[in-house]
Amino acid sequence: MTSDRKLIDALADTAQRVDVPFGSEHFDEAAARAGIPYSRSLDLYLDRQSQREADSLPLHLAHMALMH
């Protein structure tokens, strides 16, 4: 998770320099390409496996994807 955190921080810094707002559609696309897609159900940027798990669960159980 630490490397994902560093990656999202670096992505946020770069986005800010080119006037792309954090959380915008363009930012979300870049994060997904970097391997940390945005999970709407959890309102978080996650690794792909956790996102798949969260998306496969009912909304009220999506947080269980973080329990592995």
Nearest C-alpha neighbor of 40 from the set 29, 30, 48, 51 = 51
What confidence tens digit (pLDDT) does each residue in 18-60 have? 999 999 999 999 999 988 999 988 999 999 999 999 999 999 9
CA distance 5 to 22: 14
pTM of the model: 0.75
Q: Which residue has the tokens 């940390």?
A: 36
pLDDT of 2 strictly over 70:
no
pLDDT of 1 strictly over 80:
no
pLDDT of 68 strictly over 90:
no
